[in-house]
Amino acid sequence: MRQFNDYLEVILKHEGGYVNNINDLGGETNYGISHKSYPDLNIKDITLDEVSKIYYNDYWLKLNIDKIFNEDLKLHIFDMGVNAGNKTAIKLLQHILGVVEDGIMGPETESKVEEYFTSILTLYKNTRITYYNNLVKKNPKLQEFLNGWISRVTSTKFKDE
């Protein structure tokens, strides 16, 4: 059974280091932690320990995905939460499952996930790609990020796979 740090390792491969791209809606960002979301932090000098605590407390725990047994699906939900927000990550899943899209991982969502077993991972990945394509359609300035987002989806996996 994988631990939080196994998931975090994959996320940090995608998030990289410090950037301050004017077209990035998060603004100044380091390891995926944005100034927009954490205005009181010194983003440029944030430590990996601080990053780990933020990801654990504000994403991992709040996503409430610990009861999902499919570790690859759990990884993708966590990655999507980090990249697009926790509610968006869960709403995409709920859309696939045909349950109320409230962005909260509750008992109904949990039970439906287990009904799908392995096929849900492919559906979730495809839904992520559709989400990113729709973002670019709504805001063409984000086009420069599209290939990176799609690459993120296709390369999100544990290193031993």
Task: For residue 8, count CB atoms less than 10 angstroms from its CB and return exposed for 0-12, middle for 13-18, buried for 19 or more.
Answer: buried
Contact 56, 36 (CB under 8 A): no
- Average pLDDT of the residues in 33-41: 92
Contact 95, 143 (CB under 8 A): no
Give exposure, 23-40, as e/b (b: 16+ Cβ within 10 Å): ebebebbbbbbbbeebee
Lowest mean pLDDT among 14-28, 44-58, 78-92, 119-133: 14-28
* Stronger pLDDT, 22 or 73, i.e. the higher one: 73
- Average pLDDT of the residues in 109-118: 81
How far does Cα 141 stand from its chain's mean position? 21
Q: Is the pLDDT of residue 117 over 70?
A: no
Categorize the per-residue pLDDT at 108 as very low, low, confident or very high, splitting at 50, 70 and 90: very high
pLDDT at 5: 96
* CB < 8 Å & 24+ apart, contacts of 105-112: 105/63, 105/64, 105/65, 110/67, 110/68
Sequence spans of domains, the chain:
4-155
CATH 1.20.141.10 fits 4-155, yes or no: yes
Q: What is the pTM of this model?
A: 0.86
pLDDT at 17: 87
Q: Is the pLDDT of residue 161 over 70?
A: no
